[in-house]
Structure 1
Amino acid sequence: MGYGSFNGVSMAPSMQDLAADARSLGALKAGADKATPETIRATAKQFESLFMRELIKSMREATMKSGMLDNPGSDLGTDLLDQQFSVAMSGQPGGLSDLISQQLARQMGVEMPGHGDNIERPPMAVNAPESLSSKTGTDKLTASDAVLAPVKTKKAPTAAQAEFVAKHSETANKIEKATGIPASFMLGQAGHETGWGRQQIRNKDGSNSFNLFGIKAGASWTGKVAEITTTEYVNGVAQKKVAKFRAYASFEDSFKDYARLISDSPRYAKAREQTKSVTAFASGLQKAGYATDPEYAAKLSRAINTTLQLRRAQVQV
């Protein structure tokens, strides 16, 4: 069959462009002992390309077909087009492949020229093969990631979301082992509450309160407090109010306090029983009054699903 063009770019596949498959990726990983900046960037692009291809595939599966022109030939053409799109969208400056290549370079001890921005980014554990096989047990994907229902999201996860999940995954995994609350549930809720780390609660002096879950400081709280202006919904109407929030010494303390709240408070008992379902857990939290936003359950479900998609993508390459 012939191949046309898209926005002036030829869509004819070449052996190099269609390298986004498991065999070529395996060859790159096999040569890790002779890694160079070029091979690391190529490997990182393969990871991102495979990830983007899965996202495109999920979006197509969620789109209703007319059935009028569908046939094996059109399916093959669509698959090839999606493969080309995934390659074209990968390797962009500042994208996910940059984060992956930095992590791989750190693990292999390779100096990466051309990335001299000196910005220290959290390790991309979600895409690091060595960390996934670590014997420490704290940075592996957890059992809940495999048993929860398959996820589909309308939007592809952003680099900021991937970075946030990578930064806090080890802690979330540790808390899941201790409490049984799925790590992806906690990561998704922390991401939603903080705008994926961009809107964290600050103390009066500007320091971080490490409060990832927006837990307020009630009368029973005896620890430090951060007082900020927040949005509350009264009878469905958004209002600005000054409220006191709990402040912690570390992000891990925040995870521990959240898990203790969900596990020990009778208020969240029903939600705690719904850890086999993303939507049921999110709805349970809203019904229990975790937040006043009438759309909280829907927003939280999307955030958790995004987190699940990111974590599952780690082990598909």
Structure 2
Amino acid sequence: MDIQETKFNYKILLAALAAVIIGILIAFYYSYAQSQTQIQYLEGEKGLLVRDLTLMKTEVDRLSALNEVNEIELQDSKFQVEQLLDSVGRLTFTIDKLQEFKSELRTLEARYDSIKLKNNLLRYNNKLLADKYDETRIMLEDLRGQSNSLAEAEALLRRKNQELSRELKMKSYLALVNSEGSGFRMRSGRPIKTNKASTIEKLRGCITIQADPNTTSIKEKVLYFQFLGPNMGIIEDNANVISVNGNIYSKRVTLVFKGEEMSVCDFITVPEGSLLAGTYTLNVFEDEKLLTTAEFQLK
């Protein structure tokens, strides 16, 4: 009887031990499966983290190659990314470590976004500077062209002035004497000399051309009479204006000079009562050169 009870007790102990062993095995298997799942999750997260860091490192290297952002910021960010990559490579992962590195990754991403924003701003500023440079270059080329045009025009004007100076030196002008200005009123169609300004209808200019023994041929000459009033205004011939190269004259006189002394007189017509009392001036020009001048009084 005792032997049977002992055998029965052994069987119970063996059954309990087997149950305990089976329970331990089940718990171990469950823990192992859960650990494998967590390890696979952590490995996946590690892969994503490494990929993000690698992409960030590549972008930082690209920005560094472009040399468009602050060198110190780039080197600092590059060092932090490489340090984080090394740490991830050596890391025995846990959930806490994963959260820690994710937080660092987010910080680096924010810093990368800031660097990228600065880079975009610098590129925009560089574009503006390039546009301004192009505009300035075009303006400089335009100004250079205008300067060349002005220089050419100035050189042409200088040559013309030199030619004119040579012509003036070579040209022989008439020698005038006895220049005289006077006023006339009209009576029955006949001019009568007077110095009463209010009755004058014509002004006459007279000059004497001296003989020139060097003249060997007949020459046509043009003289210009210019009458000036007391206010030094030019008096026109019956409201007709004679303009030559911007100079205003009262009368154009054409004559034929044979080298002999000759007298020349000519009139201009003015409205009766248009003249005031005062000192009047007669200027005589040949080709813009003033040859003689005379004053006369009207009362």
TM-score surpassing 0.5?
A: no
Q: Which has the higher strand share?
A: 2
TM-score per shorter chain, which class? under 0.3
Which is greater in Rg?
2
The TM-score normalised by the length of structure 1 is 0.14
